[in-house]
Amino acid sequence: MRVINKQKIAITLFLILLTSLFSIVLQGIDFTNSPNPFIAQTISIISFSAGNFGFLISIFILISIVYIINIKDIQKYFLIICFSLILSSGYIIKSSLKSVTEQPRPYVNTLIELGVTTDIETFMTLPDEKRSIIIDHISENVDIWRLQEWKFESDYSFPSGHMLFAAMSAIFWAPILLLNAHYKLASTIIIWATSVGISRIWLGMHRLEDLYASIFIAFILCLTIPTCARYIYNNHIKNNKMLSLYDQPIKI
């Protein structure tokens, strides 16, 4: 097994471990408690970095990694294309699973407890505009950071799109950085990916199983797509073998 694939497995397991440990602290969290404004805003920013329009900024930063390491142009293109394929595949899988599982988000239980909706099924069958109106009715009970998430994303929970993006980013880019001795940057990406998952639980948007599913999907995509892309390039596009990032570390 290639070194980079072993690192992908290690990073995947590490993400699962860290996510599980922090989730224990958040178990049974009361979404009606007023959080520290600075902490709440920080968590909201972390969540934003992997969704909405924030993920576009994150993609730009992540792709700039190819200019941090000293590699040939063809290898830069290879990495960018692979990452693009991983992101697009992940989006399709995530959207398909959400439409099939139709798992309500955790915050819906809070809406029931506060008496603004009768049951989960009734709330989920309402159009987005009416869901937003219902959520506005609890503005005095829930902090603004959670409310804006609940209003903007009133669709289904399983799997987590934010965590999927963050996990794909970490599992794909961190091994490349580790091979090139950029240990601090690799660690930063892994910690950021974990923080994204925890932020989604804190905001009431996802459960732990949503995060697990996203990490697993990210691992499969990051393992298979680069392998298939490299095989196609080496055997059908170029006659001789391309010096692969996944075979040996690159000298900087």
Q: 210-230: per-residue pLDDT in tens?
A: 999 999 999 999 999 988 887
CB atoms within 10 A of CB 208: 18
Model confidence pLDDT, tens digit, residues 156-212: 889 999 999 999 999 999 999 988 888 999 999 999 999 999 999 999 889 999 999
Instruction: Report how far apart, in Å, the C-alpha atoms of 35 and of each of 19, 28, 197, 202, 219 are.
Output: 21, 15, 18, 10, 33
Q: What are 100's two structure tokens?
A: 């099939």
Residue 149: pLDDT band (50, 70, 90) is confident
Cis peptide before 159 (omega within 30 of 0): yes
Please enumerate in sequence order all residues whose Cβ is within 8 A of that of 46, keeping only pairs 6 or more positions apart, or say none.
192, 195, 196, 199
Taking the alpha carbons at both ends of the chain, their separation in whole angstroms is 24
Structure confidence at residue 104 (pLDDT): 86
The stretch 147-157 carries a mean pLDDT of 81
Question: Is pLDDT above 50 for 251?
Answer: no
Residue 248: pLDDT band (50, 70, 90) is very low
Which one is predicted more confidently, 198 or 127?
198
> What whole-number distance in Å separates Cα of residue 97 and Cα of residue 102?
8
Per domain, the residue ranges of the chain are 1-22+69-103+158-237, 104-155
Model confidence pLDDT, tens digit, residues 60-82: 999 998 888 877 777 888 889 99
Structure confidence at residue 235 (pLDDT): 67
Instruction: Report whether 147 contacts 93 (CB < 8 A).
Output: no
